[in-house]
Chains A and B, each alone.
Chain A
Amino acid sequence: MMEKMFEVQDPVNHDTQTLQVNIGPQHPSTHGVFRMNVVLDGETVVSLKPVMGYLHRNHEQIAENISYTASMPYTDRLDYFNSMSNNFAWALAVEKLANLDVPERAQYIRVIMAELTRLVNHVSVIGFLLNDLGAFFTPVLYAFREREKILDIFEEVSGARMMCNFLRFGGIKRDLPAGTLERIKEVIQNFPKFLDEFETLLTKNEILCMRCQNVGVLPAELAVNASITGPMLRASGVNYDVRKADKYSIYDRFDFKIPLGQTGDVYDRYYCRVLEMRESLKILQQALRDIPVTGEIISKKMAPFVKAPRNFKPPVGEAYGRVEAPKGELGFYVVSDGTPQPWRYHVRAPSLINLTILEDLCIGHKVADAIVILGSIDIVLGEVDH
Protein backbone atom coordinates (compact mmCIF):
# COMPACT_ATOMS: atom_id res chain seq x y z
CA MET A 1 0.00 0.00 0.00
CA MET A 2 2.66 2.47 1.08
CA GLU A 3 4.84 1.66 -1.82
CA LYS A 4 2.07 2.35 -4.21
CA MET A 5 1.42 5.80 -2.73
CA PHE A 6 4.98 6.90 -3.15
CA GLU A 7 5.43 5.53 -6.57
CA VAL A 8 7.61 7.93 -8.51
CA GLN A 9 5.78 9.38 -11.43
CA ASP A 10 7.07 11.01 -14.50
CA PRO A 11 6.21 14.72 -14.20
CA VAL A 12 5.18 14.88 -17.84
CA ASN A 13 2.32 12.59 -17.06
CA HIS A 14 0.70 15.22 -14.87
CA ASP A 15 -1.88 16.95 -16.89
CA THR A 16 -0.59 20.42 -15.93
CA GLN A 17 -1.65 23.67 -17.49
CA THR A 18 0.11 26.94 -17.98
CA LEU A 19 -1.15 29.79 -15.86
CA GLN A 20 -1.70 33.33 -16.97
CA VAL A 21 -0.82 35.99 -14.40
CA ASN A 22 -1.06 39.74 -14.56
CA ILE A 23 1.78 41.43 -12.77
CA GLY A 24 0.84 45.03 -12.31
CA PRO A 25 -0.34 47.65 -13.08
CA GLN A 26 -0.28 48.44 -9.40
CA HIS A 27 2.48 46.08 -8.44
CA PRO A 28 5.33 47.83 -6.65
CA SER A 29 8.01 45.98 -8.56
CA THR A 30 6.88 47.23 -11.95
CA HIS A 31 8.28 50.69 -11.24
CA GLY A 32 5.04 52.47 -11.96
CA VAL A 33 1.80 51.70 -13.68
CA PHE A 34 2.96 48.99 -16.01
CA ARG A 35 1.46 45.57 -16.54
CA MET A 36 3.16 42.37 -17.51
CA ASN A 37 0.92 39.71 -18.91
CA VAL A 38 2.87 36.60 -18.02
CA VAL A 39 2.17 32.99 -18.94
CA LEU A 40 3.80 30.67 -16.45
CA ASP A 41 4.60 27.03 -16.53
CA GLY A 42 5.09 26.35 -12.87
CA GLU A 43 7.42 29.18 -12.04
CA THR A 44 9.03 29.48 -15.44
CA VAL A 45 8.06 32.26 -17.78
CA VAL A 46 6.69 30.93 -21.06
CA SER A 47 5.58 34.18 -22.56
CA LEU A 48 5.44 37.75 -21.39
CA LYS A 49 3.57 40.63 -22.94
CA PRO A 50 4.22 44.11 -21.66
CA VAL A 51 1.08 46.26 -21.50
CA MET A 52 1.78 49.96 -21.51
CA GLY A 53 -0.17 53.13 -21.78
CA TYR A 54 -1.61 53.60 -18.31
CA LEU A 55 0.27 56.85 -17.97
CA HIS A 56 -0.33 58.12 -21.47
CA ARG A 57 -0.89 61.84 -21.39
CA ASN A 58 -0.64 63.04 -24.94
CA HIS A 59 2.77 64.53 -24.58
CA GLU A 60 3.43 64.94 -28.30
CA GLN A 61 0.04 66.39 -29.10
CA ILE A 62 0.33 68.90 -26.27
CA ALA A 63 3.73 70.01 -27.52
CA GLU A 64 2.32 70.61 -30.98
CA ASN A 65 -0.13 73.11 -29.53
CA ILE A 66 2.13 75.23 -27.37
CA SER A 67 5.20 77.33 -27.99
CA TYR A 68 8.65 75.80 -28.18
CA THR A 69 9.72 77.08 -24.78
CA ALA A 70 6.49 75.98 -23.16
CA SER A 71 7.39 72.38 -24.04
CA MET A 72 10.45 72.63 -21.87
CA PRO A 73 8.66 72.00 -18.55
CA TYR A 74 6.79 69.11 -20.16
CA THR A 75 10.02 67.41 -21.13
CA ASP A 76 10.93 67.41 -17.42
CA ARG A 77 8.02 65.08 -16.91
CA LEU A 78 9.12 62.49 -19.42
CA ASP A 79 11.78 60.84 -17.36
CA TYR A 80 11.32 62.56 -14.07
CA PHE A 81 14.62 61.30 -12.69
CA ASN A 82 16.62 63.12 -15.35
CA SER A 83 14.89 66.36 -16.16
CA MET A 84 18.13 68.14 -16.96
CA SER A 85 19.15 65.76 -19.72
CA ASN A 86 15.62 65.79 -21.14
CA ASN A 87 15.84 69.56 -21.33
CA PHE A 88 19.21 69.17 -22.96
CA ALA A 89 17.91 67.00 -25.78
CA TRP A 90 14.99 69.29 -26.53
CA ALA A 91 17.23 72.34 -26.47
CA LEU A 92 19.66 70.67 -28.86
CA ALA A 93 16.88 69.80 -31.31
CA VAL A 94 15.58 73.36 -31.44
CA GLU A 95 19.07 74.79 -31.61
CA LYS A 96 19.72 72.66 -34.65
CA LEU A 97 16.44 73.76 -36.16
CA ALA A 98 16.99 77.46 -35.62
CA ASN A 99 20.75 77.35 -35.98
CA LEU A 100 21.57 78.82 -32.61
CA ASP A 101 24.96 78.81 -30.99
CA VAL A 102 25.45 78.43 -27.27
CA PRO A 103 27.87 80.55 -25.22
CA GLU A 104 30.81 78.85 -23.61
CA ARG A 105 29.79 79.10 -19.98
CA ALA A 106 26.32 77.84 -20.71
CA GLN A 107 27.78 74.83 -22.51
CA TYR A 108 29.80 73.88 -19.47
CA ILE A 109 26.91 74.36 -17.09
CA ARG A 110 24.77 72.15 -19.31
CA VAL A 111 27.32 69.38 -19.33
CA ILE A 112 27.80 69.60 -15.58
CA MET A 113 24.07 69.35 -15.01
CA ALA A 114 23.67 66.47 -17.46
CA GLU A 115 26.43 64.47 -15.82
CA LEU A 116 25.08 65.13 -12.34
CA THR A 117 21.79 63.80 -13.65
CA ARG A 118 23.55 60.64 -14.76
CA LEU A 119 24.90 60.15 -11.26
CA VAL A 120 21.43 60.62 -9.80
CA ASN A 121 19.88 58.18 -12.20
CA HIS A 122 22.44 55.41 -12.02
CA VAL A 123 22.79 55.50 -8.29
CA SER A 124 19.06 55.28 -7.75
CA VAL A 125 18.46 52.64 -10.39
CA ILE A 126 21.02 50.41 -8.73
CA GLY A 127 19.22 50.96 -5.46
CA PHE A 128 15.91 49.98 -7.01
CA LEU A 129 17.46 46.95 -8.66
CA LEU A 130 18.53 45.75 -5.24
CA ASN A 131 15.01 46.39 -4.00
CA ASP A 132 13.76 44.10 -6.73
CA LEU A 133 16.28 41.51 -5.65
CA GLY A 134 14.86 41.58 -2.17
CA ALA A 135 17.49 43.68 -0.44
CA PHE A 136 14.81 45.98 0.82
CA PHE A 137 15.76 49.60 1.21
CA THR A 138 19.27 49.49 2.57
CA PRO A 139 21.01 50.07 -0.78
CA VAL A 140 18.29 52.33 -2.07
CA LEU A 141 18.46 54.55 0.95
CA TYR A 142 22.24 54.77 0.76
CA ALA A 143 21.76 55.77 -2.86
CA PHE A 144 19.12 58.32 -2.01
CA ARG A 145 21.41 59.88 0.56
CA GLU A 146 23.80 60.78 -2.24
CA ARG A 147 21.02 61.65 -4.62
CA GLU A 148 19.68 64.11 -2.09
CA LYS A 149 22.90 66.10 -2.16
CA ILE A 150 22.73 66.43 -5.92
CA LEU A 151 19.05 67.31 -5.87
CA ASP A 152 19.88 70.07 -3.42
CA ILE A 153 22.21 71.48 -6.04
CA PHE A 154 19.47 71.28 -8.66
CA GLU A 155 17.11 73.10 -6.37
CA GLU A 156 19.63 75.80 -5.69
CA VAL A 157 20.29 76.26 -9.38
CA SER A 158 16.89 75.92 -10.95
CA GLY A 159 14.34 76.22 -8.18
CA ALA A 160 13.04 72.67 -8.27
CA ARG A 161 14.50 69.36 -7.25
CA MET A 162 13.12 67.25 -10.03
CA MET A 163 11.19 69.42 -12.48
CA CYS A 164 14.11 71.66 -13.23
CA ASN A 165 13.00 73.43 -16.41
CA PHE A 166 16.42 74.99 -16.49
CA LEU A 167 17.77 74.93 -20.03
CA ARG A 168 16.67 77.34 -22.70
CA PHE A 169 17.32 77.34 -26.41
CA GLY A 170 20.72 78.87 -26.94
CA GLY A 171 21.73 78.71 -23.32
CA ILE A 172 20.33 78.31 -19.85
CA LYS A 173 17.65 80.09 -17.88
CA ARG A 174 19.80 81.73 -15.24
CA ASP A 175 23.40 81.78 -14.22
CA LEU A 176 24.52 79.70 -11.26
CA PRO A 177 24.14 81.35 -7.88
CA ALA A 178 27.31 82.23 -6.01
CA GLY A 179 28.99 79.30 -4.32
CA THR A 180 27.26 76.56 -6.26
CA LEU A 181 30.35 75.45 -8.10
CA GLU A 182 32.11 74.94 -4.78
CA ARG A 183 29.25 72.83 -3.54
CA ILE A 184 29.27 70.75 -6.71
CA LYS A 185 33.01 70.22 -6.25
CA GLU A 186 32.42 69.06 -2.73
CA VAL A 187 29.78 66.57 -3.79
CA ILE A 188 32.04 65.23 -6.51
CA GLN A 189 34.93 64.89 -4.13
CA ASN A 190 32.92 62.78 -1.74
CA PHE A 191 31.21 60.71 -4.39
CA PRO A 192 34.02 58.23 -5.13
CA LYS A 193 34.19 57.39 -1.44
CA PHE A 194 30.52 56.60 -1.45
CA LEU A 195 30.87 54.55 -4.63
CA ASP A 196 33.66 52.50 -3.08
CA GLU A 197 31.50 51.82 -0.07
CA PHE A 198 28.55 50.97 -2.27
CA GLU A 199 30.68 48.54 -4.23
CA THR A 200 31.98 46.88 -1.08
CA LEU A 201 28.39 46.39 -0.13
CA LEU A 202 27.28 45.01 -3.48
CA THR A 203 29.75 44.12 -6.20
CA LYS A 204 31.22 41.00 -4.64
CA ASN A 205 28.17 40.03 -2.68
CA GLU A 206 27.60 36.36 -3.39
CA ILE A 207 23.83 36.57 -3.34
CA LEU A 208 23.85 39.41 -5.83
CA CYS A 209 26.24 37.51 -8.09
CA MET A 210 24.16 34.36 -7.99
CA ARG A 211 20.95 36.17 -8.69
CA CYS A 212 22.32 38.38 -11.45
CA GLN A 213 25.00 36.55 -13.36
CA ASN A 214 23.76 34.81 -16.50
CA VAL A 215 20.25 36.07 -15.92
CA GLY A 216 18.55 37.95 -18.73
CA VAL A 217 21.40 37.69 -21.18
CA LEU A 218 21.07 40.08 -24.08
CA PRO A 219 23.26 39.08 -27.02
CA ALA A 220 24.94 41.97 -28.79
CA GLU A 221 23.32 41.21 -32.12
CA LEU A 222 19.82 41.16 -30.71
CA ALA A 223 20.51 44.37 -28.82
CA VAL A 224 21.58 46.16 -31.98
CA ASN A 225 18.66 44.80 -33.99
CA ALA A 226 16.20 45.94 -31.36
CA SER A 227 17.73 49.47 -31.24
CA ILE A 228 18.60 49.13 -27.60
CA THR A 229 20.74 52.03 -26.38
CA GLY A 230 22.38 53.21 -23.24
CA PRO A 231 24.02 51.16 -20.49
CA MET A 232 21.96 48.19 -21.58
CA LEU A 233 23.57 48.10 -25.00
CA ARG A 234 27.03 48.71 -23.64
CA ALA A 235 26.63 45.92 -21.10
CA SER A 236 26.26 43.61 -24.09
CA GLY A 237 29.61 44.77 -25.34
CA VAL A 238 28.60 47.15 -28.12
CA ASN A 239 30.64 50.30 -28.05
CA TYR A 240 28.08 52.96 -28.81
CA ASP A 241 27.65 56.12 -26.81
CA VAL A 242 26.05 59.20 -28.32
CA ARG A 243 28.49 61.35 -26.42
CA LYS A 244 31.29 59.78 -28.45
CA ALA A 245 29.38 58.99 -31.64
CA ASP A 246 27.75 62.38 -32.09
CA LYS A 247 30.08 64.59 -30.03
CA TYR A 248 27.23 66.98 -29.31
CA SER A 249 27.73 70.09 -27.23
CA ILE A 250 31.30 70.08 -25.93
CA TYR A 251 31.77 66.40 -25.19
CA ASP A 252 34.69 66.19 -27.61
CA ARG A 253 36.76 68.22 -25.14
CA PHE A 254 36.62 65.72 -22.33
CA ASP A 255 38.68 62.67 -21.80
CA PHE A 256 36.54 59.74 -20.73
CA LYS A 257 36.07 56.09 -21.53
CA ILE A 258 33.05 53.99 -22.37
CA PRO A 259 32.77 51.01 -20.04
CA LEU A 260 31.66 47.83 -21.81
CA GLY A 261 30.26 44.60 -20.48
CA GLN A 262 30.96 41.11 -21.73
CA THR A 263 28.01 38.82 -21.27
CA GLY A 264 25.15 41.29 -21.26
CA ASP A 265 23.47 39.85 -18.19
CA VAL A 266 21.89 41.72 -15.32
CA TYR A 267 25.17 41.80 -13.45
CA ASP A 268 26.95 43.46 -16.36
CA ARG A 269 24.22 46.04 -16.58
CA TYR A 270 24.67 46.77 -12.91
CA TYR A 271 28.43 46.99 -13.13
CA CYS A 272 28.41 49.05 -16.32
CA ARG A 273 26.42 51.68 -14.50
CA VAL A 274 28.86 51.76 -11.62
CA LEU A 275 31.75 52.27 -14.03
CA GLU A 276 29.82 54.86 -15.97
CA MET A 277 29.38 56.87 -12.81
CA ARG A 278 33.12 56.86 -12.33
CA GLU A 279 33.58 58.14 -15.89
CA SER A 280 30.95 60.82 -15.29
CA LEU A 281 32.93 61.97 -12.29
CA LYS A 282 35.94 62.37 -14.55
CA ILE A 283 33.95 64.49 -16.98
CA LEU A 284 32.64 66.58 -14.11
CA GLN A 285 36.10 67.19 -12.75
CA GLN A 286 37.35 68.32 -16.14
CA ALA A 287 34.32 70.51 -16.71
CA LEU A 288 34.66 72.15 -13.31
CA ARG A 289 38.31 72.79 -14.01
CA ASP A 290 37.70 74.38 -17.40
CA ILE A 291 34.48 76.31 -16.90
CA PRO A 292 34.91 80.04 -17.64
CA VAL A 293 34.43 82.19 -14.55
CA THR A 294 31.97 84.54 -16.16
CA GLY A 295 30.33 84.90 -19.48
CA GLU A 296 27.12 85.01 -21.40
CA ILE A 297 24.56 82.38 -20.55
CA ILE A 298 22.22 82.73 -23.50
CA SER A 299 22.96 83.38 -27.14
CA LYS A 300 22.34 86.88 -28.44
CA LYS A 301 19.97 85.62 -31.09
CA MET A 302 17.70 84.08 -28.49
CA ALA A 303 17.85 86.78 -25.82
CA PRO A 304 14.86 88.80 -27.10
CA PHE A 305 12.65 85.72 -26.94
CA VAL A 306 13.27 84.98 -23.28
CA LYS A 307 10.53 87.39 -22.29
CA ALA A 308 8.30 86.50 -25.21
CA PRO A 309 8.55 82.81 -26.04
CA ARG A 310 5.55 82.95 -28.36
CA ASN A 311 7.38 85.25 -30.74
CA PHE A 312 10.04 82.65 -31.34
CA LYS A 313 9.41 81.18 -34.78
CA PRO A 314 12.16 78.92 -36.05
CA PRO A 315 12.53 78.72 -39.83
CA VAL A 316 10.69 76.03 -41.77
CA GLY A 317 12.55 72.75 -41.57
CA GLU A 318 13.16 69.69 -39.50
CA ALA A 319 15.76 68.65 -36.96
CA TYR A 320 16.63 65.77 -34.71
CA GLY A 321 18.52 66.46 -31.52
CA ARG A 322 19.77 63.66 -29.36
CA VAL A 323 21.72 63.15 -26.19
CA GLU A 324 23.04 60.20 -24.30
CA ALA A 325 20.50 60.32 -21.52
CA PRO A 326 21.24 58.05 -18.55
CA LYS A 327 18.77 55.53 -19.92
CA GLY A 328 19.89 55.58 -23.52
CA GLU A 329 19.60 57.71 -26.58
CA LEU A 330 16.97 60.35 -26.01
CA GLY A 331 16.04 62.19 -29.17
CA PHE A 332 13.55 64.84 -30.16
CA TYR A 333 12.42 65.09 -33.73
CA VAL A 334 10.81 68.38 -34.56
CA VAL A 335 9.33 69.79 -37.73
CA SER A 336 8.70 73.49 -37.95
CA ASP A 337 6.31 75.21 -40.33
CA GLY A 338 7.38 78.69 -39.32
CA THR A 339 4.65 79.19 -36.71
CA PRO A 340 5.26 79.51 -32.97
CA GLN A 341 4.25 75.88 -32.46
CA PRO A 342 6.06 72.87 -33.81
CA TRP A 343 4.18 71.16 -36.63
CA ARG A 344 5.41 67.76 -35.56
CA TYR A 345 7.09 66.79 -32.35
CA HIS A 346 8.27 63.30 -31.64
CA VAL A 347 10.16 61.80 -28.74
CA ARG A 348 12.46 58.87 -29.14
CA ALA A 349 12.20 57.62 -25.61
CA PRO A 350 14.92 55.20 -24.56
CA SER A 351 12.84 53.55 -21.83
CA LEU A 352 10.11 52.64 -24.29
CA ILE A 353 12.45 51.15 -26.86
CA ASN A 354 14.56 49.30 -24.30
CA LEU A 355 11.42 47.82 -22.82
CA THR A 356 10.41 46.15 -26.08
CA ILE A 357 13.07 43.50 -25.54
CA LEU A 358 11.65 42.39 -22.20
CA GLU A 359 10.00 39.22 -23.46
CA ASP A 360 13.17 37.89 -25.11
CA LEU A 361 15.11 38.41 -21.93
CA CYS A 362 12.61 36.81 -19.61
CA ILE A 363 11.58 33.62 -21.41
CA GLY A 364 12.90 30.55 -19.64
CA HIS A 365 13.63 32.36 -16.41
CA LYS A 366 11.71 32.27 -13.17
CA VAL A 367 9.13 34.94 -12.28
CA ALA A 368 11.40 36.39 -9.63
CA ASP A 369 14.08 36.85 -12.27
CA ALA A 370 11.66 38.59 -14.60
CA ILE A 371 11.26 41.28 -11.96
CA VAL A 372 15.01 41.68 -11.67
CA ILE A 373 15.41 41.85 -15.44
CA LEU A 374 12.77 44.55 -15.61
CA GLY A 375 14.62 46.43 -12.90
CA SER A 376 17.89 46.17 -14.79
CA ILE A 377 16.39 47.62 -17.96
CA ASP A 378 15.82 50.82 -16.04
CA ILE A 379 12.50 52.20 -17.14
CA VAL A 380 10.57 55.21 -16.03
CA LEU A 381 6.93 55.01 -16.92
CA GLY A 382 6.66 58.72 -17.55
CA GLU A 383 8.89 58.19 -20.51
CA VAL A 384 7.48 54.85 -21.65
CA ASP A 385 3.95 56.18 -21.88
CA HIS A 386 4.61 59.67 -23.11
Chain B
Amino acid sequence: MIFGTGIIKGMLVTLKAFLASYFKGPHEGGIFTVEYPEKRLAEKERFRNFPFLLYDQTPENLRCVACDICAKECPPKCIYIVRDFDKEGRPLKRPAIFDIDFTVCMNCGICEEACPFDAIFMDHEFEIAGPDRQNKMLYHRDDLLKSNEYFNKIRPTDAGAIDARRREAEEKKKAAAAQAVKAKTTQPQPEPPKT
Protein backbone atom coordinates (compact mmCIF):
# COMPACT_ATOMS: atom_id res chain seq x y z
CA MET B 1 0.00 0.00 0.00
CA ILE B 2 1.15 3.51 -0.72
CA PHE B 3 2.39 5.37 2.30
CA GLY B 4 -0.22 7.80 3.49
CA THR B 5 -3.34 5.96 2.38
CA GLY B 6 -4.30 5.31 5.99
CA ILE B 7 -4.04 8.97 6.84
CA ILE B 8 -6.15 10.00 3.87
CA LYS B 9 -8.82 7.44 4.70
CA GLY B 10 -8.83 8.72 8.26
CA MET B 11 -9.22 12.26 7.02
CA LEU B 12 -12.27 11.19 5.06
CA VAL B 13 -13.80 9.90 8.31
CA THR B 14 -13.28 13.25 9.97
CA LEU B 15 -14.65 15.02 6.92
CA LYS B 16 -17.75 12.86 7.05
CA ALA B 17 -18.19 13.61 10.72
CA PHE B 18 -17.72 17.31 10.06
CA LEU B 19 -20.42 17.35 7.41
CA ALA B 20 -22.70 15.14 9.52
CA SER B 21 -22.51 17.67 12.33
CA TYR B 22 -24.29 20.14 10.07
CA PHE B 23 -26.75 17.98 8.24
CA LYS B 24 -27.59 14.99 10.41
CA GLY B 25 -29.82 14.52 13.41
CA PRO B 26 -28.38 14.04 16.88
CA HIS B 27 -28.51 10.25 16.76
CA GLU B 28 -27.24 9.75 13.24
CA GLY B 29 -23.83 11.20 13.88
CA GLY B 30 -24.80 14.83 14.30
CA ILE B 31 -24.21 16.99 17.33
CA PHE B 32 -26.09 15.81 20.34
CA THR B 33 -24.70 17.97 23.06
CA VAL B 34 -27.13 20.69 24.11
CA GLU B 35 -26.39 24.28 25.02
CA TYR B 36 -26.91 23.76 28.68
CA PRO B 37 -28.35 26.72 30.51
CA GLU B 38 -30.81 27.49 27.72
CA LYS B 39 -31.61 23.93 26.72
CA ARG B 40 -31.76 20.93 29.00
CA LEU B 41 -31.93 17.23 28.53
CA ALA B 42 -34.89 15.38 29.93
CA GLU B 43 -34.20 14.13 33.43
CA LYS B 44 -34.03 10.44 34.04
CA GLU B 45 -36.40 9.36 36.72
CA ARG B 46 -33.82 7.51 38.77
CA PHE B 47 -31.33 10.34 38.65
CA ARG B 48 -30.17 10.99 42.18
CA ASN B 49 -28.50 13.99 43.65
CA PHE B 50 -28.63 14.98 47.28
CA PRO B 51 -31.37 13.81 49.63
CA PHE B 52 -34.43 15.75 50.77
CA LEU B 53 -36.90 15.22 53.59
CA LEU B 54 -40.45 14.47 52.66
CA TYR B 55 -43.56 15.92 54.28
CA ASP B 56 -47.23 15.17 53.74
CA GLN B 57 -49.48 18.18 53.15
CA THR B 58 -47.86 20.67 55.56
CA PRO B 59 -44.23 21.11 56.50
CA GLU B 60 -45.00 20.32 60.16
CA ASN B 61 -46.16 16.93 59.04
CA LEU B 62 -42.81 15.51 58.10
CA ARG B 63 -42.42 11.78 57.98
CA CYS B 64 -39.05 11.58 59.63
CA VAL B 65 -39.25 10.22 63.17
CA ALA B 66 -35.62 10.95 64.06
CA CYS B 67 -34.76 7.29 64.39
CA ASP B 68 -31.15 7.98 63.40
CA ILE B 69 -30.92 4.95 61.10
CA CYS B 70 -29.93 6.94 58.04
CA ALA B 71 -27.26 8.79 60.00
CA LYS B 72 -25.76 5.47 61.05
CA GLU B 73 -25.91 3.96 57.59
CA CYS B 74 -24.58 6.96 55.71
CA PRO B 75 -21.10 5.94 54.56
CA PRO B 76 -19.33 9.29 55.06
CA LYS B 77 -21.49 10.11 58.11
CA CYS B 78 -22.69 13.45 56.85
CA ILE B 79 -26.11 13.42 58.52
CA TYR B 80 -26.49 14.90 61.98
CA ILE B 81 -29.78 14.41 63.82
CA VAL B 82 -31.02 15.61 67.20
CA ARG B 83 -34.38 14.46 68.43
CA ASP B 84 -37.00 17.01 69.46
CA PHE B 85 -38.46 17.09 72.99
CA ASP B 86 -41.70 18.57 74.23
CA LYS B 87 -41.98 20.96 77.18
CA GLU B 88 -42.04 18.19 79.76
CA GLY B 89 -38.91 16.68 78.31
CA ARG B 90 -40.54 13.70 76.67
CA PRO B 91 -38.97 12.69 73.36
CA LEU B 92 -41.01 13.52 70.28
CA LYS B 93 -41.08 11.63 67.03
CA ARG B 94 -39.50 14.36 64.99
CA PRO B 95 -36.06 15.85 64.58
CA ALA B 96 -35.15 19.18 66.11
CA ILE B 97 -31.98 19.31 64.06
CA PHE B 98 -31.48 17.48 60.81
CA ASP B 99 -28.35 18.64 59.04
CA ILE B 100 -26.75 17.25 55.93
CA ASP B 101 -23.39 18.52 54.86
CA PHE B 102 -23.44 18.77 51.12
CA THR B 103 -19.69 19.04 50.87
CA VAL B 104 -19.42 15.57 52.39
CA CYS B 105 -22.47 13.81 50.96
CA MET B 106 -21.57 11.65 48.00
CA ASN B 107 -25.08 11.21 46.64
CA CYS B 108 -24.98 7.47 47.08
CA GLY B 109 -28.63 6.98 47.95
CA ILE B 110 -28.04 4.66 50.88
CA CYS B 111 -30.03 6.87 53.25
CA GLU B 112 -33.03 6.52 50.97
CA GLU B 113 -32.56 2.77 50.86
CA ALA B 114 -32.21 2.39 54.60
CA CYS B 115 -34.96 4.69 55.90
CA PRO B 116 -37.77 2.49 57.21
CA PHE B 117 -40.31 5.34 57.26
CA ASP B 118 -40.13 6.53 53.62
CA ALA B 119 -38.98 9.90 54.86
CA ILE B 120 -35.82 10.70 52.95
CA PHE B 121 -35.42 10.54 49.18
CA MET B 122 -32.95 11.52 46.54
CA ASP B 123 -33.65 14.73 44.67
CA HIS B 124 -33.21 15.79 41.06
CA GLU B 125 -31.91 19.23 41.98
CA PHE B 126 -28.36 19.68 40.79
CA GLU B 127 -27.77 23.41 40.53
CA ILE B 128 -26.75 23.88 44.12
CA ALA B 129 -23.48 25.71 43.91
CA GLY B 130 -23.00 28.26 46.64
CA PRO B 131 -20.51 30.91 47.64
CA ASP B 132 -19.51 29.59 51.06
CA ARG B 133 -19.41 26.42 53.04
CA GLN B 134 -21.04 27.25 56.32
CA ASN B 135 -24.19 28.95 55.14
CA LYS B 136 -24.86 27.52 51.76
CA MET B 137 -23.45 24.03 51.83
CA LEU B 138 -24.72 22.90 55.21
CA TYR B 139 -28.36 22.09 54.71
CA HIS B 140 -30.62 22.37 57.77
CA ARG B 141 -33.93 20.72 58.35
CA ASP B 142 -36.02 23.47 56.83
CA ASP B 143 -33.87 23.68 53.71
CA LEU B 144 -34.32 19.98 53.14
CA LEU B 145 -38.09 19.83 53.37
CA LYS B 146 -40.01 19.09 50.20
CA SER B 147 -43.60 18.06 49.68
CA ASN B 148 -44.96 14.75 48.56
CA GLU B 149 -46.40 16.46 45.47
CA TYR B 150 -42.92 17.47 44.46
CA PHE B 151 -41.75 13.90 44.94
CA ASN B 152 -44.63 12.69 42.81
CA LYS B 153 -43.66 15.16 40.14
CA ILE B 154 -40.00 14.23 39.86
CA ARG B 155 -40.26 10.49 40.39
CA PRO B 156 -43.80 9.42 39.54
CA THR B 157 -43.16 5.66 39.44
CA ASP B 158 -41.40 5.44 42.79
CA ALA B 159 -43.69 7.90 44.51
CA GLY B 160 -46.78 6.15 43.18
CA ALA B 161 -45.59 2.77 44.42
CA ILE B 162 -44.68 4.13 47.84
CA ASP B 163 -47.96 6.02 48.20
CA ALA B 164 -49.92 2.92 47.26
CA ARG B 165 -47.99 0.83 49.75
CA ARG B 166 -48.53 3.36 52.53
CA ARG B 167 -52.24 3.64 51.79
CA GLU B 168 -52.58 -0.11 51.90
CA ALA B 169 -50.72 -0.32 55.18
CA GLU B 170 -52.89 2.39 56.65
CA GLU B 171 -56.06 0.67 55.57
CA LYS B 172 -54.85 -2.55 57.05
CA LYS B 173 -54.07 -0.77 60.26
CA LYS B 174 -57.52 0.82 60.30
CA ALA B 175 -59.19 -2.49 59.60
CA ALA B 176 -57.19 -4.14 62.34
CA ALA B 177 -58.08 -1.35 64.74
CA ALA B 178 -61.75 -1.61 63.81
CA GLN B 179 -61.63 -5.32 64.33
CA ALA B 180 -59.97 -4.89 67.68
CA VAL B 181 -62.67 -2.42 68.74
CA LYS B 182 -65.34 -4.82 67.52
CA ALA B 183 -63.71 -7.69 69.33
CA LYS B 184 -63.57 -5.61 72.47
CA THR B 185 -67.25 -4.73 72.34
CA THR B 186 -68.50 -8.18 71.45
CA GLN B 187 -66.29 -10.12 73.77
CA PRO B 188 -67.76 -10.55 77.22
CA GLN B 189 -65.80 -8.61 79.74
CA PRO B 190 -63.88 -10.94 81.99
CA GLU B 191 -65.39 -10.93 85.37
CA PRO B 192 -63.38 -9.36 88.10
CA PRO B 193 -61.75 -11.99 90.21
CA LYS B 194 -63.68 -12.82 93.31
CA THR B 195 -62.12 -12.07 96.56
Binding site for B on A (CB under 8 A): 66-67, 69-74, 77, 138, 142, 145, 148, 152, 155-160, 163, 165, 173-174, 177, 197, 200-209, 306-310
Partner of A73, one of B7, B10, B108: B108
Known: A74-B75, A160-B107. 17 other contacts (CB 8 A): A67-B73, A70-B75, A73-B106, A73-B108, A155-B46, A157-B46, A158-B46, A159-B48, A174-B46, A177-B46, A204-B1, A204-B9, A205-B7, A205-B10, A206-B6, A208-B6, A209-B6
Report Cα–Cα, A157/B17, bound state, in Å.
30
B interface, how many residues as a size bin? 20 to 34
**A73 contacts B5, CB within 8 Å?**
no
6 contacts between A and B (CB under 8 A): A70-B73, A138-B14, A159-B46, A159-B47, A309-B110, A309-B114
**B45 contacts A206, CB within 8 Å?**
no
**B9 contacts A200, CB within 8 Å?**
yes
Q: Find chain B residues with CB under 8 A from A205 CB.
A: 6-7, 10
Q: Does B116 contact A (CB under 8 A)?
A: yes
- Chain A interface SS verdict (over half): helix
Residue in A closest to B2 when the chains form the complex, CB atoms = A206
**B73 contacts A204, CB within 8 Å?**
no
Q: Find chain B residues with CB under 8 A from A155 CB.
A: 44, 46-47
**A200 contacts B110, CB within 8 Å?**
no
Residue in A closest to B18 when the chains form the complex, CB atoms = A138
**A201 contacts B44, CB within 8 Å?**
no
Q: Find chain A residues with CB under 8 A from B45 CB.
A: 177
Q: Find chain A residues with CB under 8 A from B10 CB.
A: 200-202, 205
Q: Find chain A residues with CB under 8 A from B48 CB.
A: 159-160
Q: Find chain A residues with CB under 8 A from B44 CB.
A: 152, 155-156, 159
**Which residues of chain B from 87 to 132 have any CB-CB distance to chain A below 8 Å in the complex?**
106-110, 113-114, 116, 122
Partner of A207, one of B7, B32, B75, B106: B7
Q: Does B193 contact A (CB under 8 A)?
A: no
Report Cα–Cα, A173/B112, bound state, in Å.
12
Report Cα–Cα, A74/B157, bound state, in Å.
28
Report Cα–Cα, A163/B47, bound state, in Å.
11
Q: Find chain B residues with CB under 8 A from A66 CB.
A: 75
Partner of B109, one of A145, A148, A165: A165
Q: Find chain B residues with CB under 8 A from A67 CB.
A: 73
Report Cα–Cα, A206/B5, bound state, in Å.
8
Q: Find chain A residues with CB under 8 A from B110 CB.
A: 69-70, 73, 165, 309
**A163 contacts B75, CB within 8 Å?**
no
**Which residues of chain B from 1 to 55 have any CB-CB distance to chain A below 8 Å in the complex?**
1, 3-7, 9-10, 12-14, 17, 32, 44-48
Q: Does B167 contact A (CB under 8 A)?
A: no
Q: Does B72 contact A (CB under 8 A)?
A: yes
Residue in A closest to B124 when the chains form the complex, CB atoms = A159
Report Cα–Cα, A25/B115, bound state, in Å.
42
Report Cα–Cα, A310/B73, bound state, in Å.
7
Residue in A closest to B41 when the chains form the complex, CB atoms = A152
Q: Find chain B residues with CB under 8 A from A72 CB.
A: 108
Partner of B5, one of A70, A138, A204, A308: A204
Report Cα–Cα, A206/B7, bound state, in Å.
6
CB distance from B169 to the nearest CB of A (A): 15
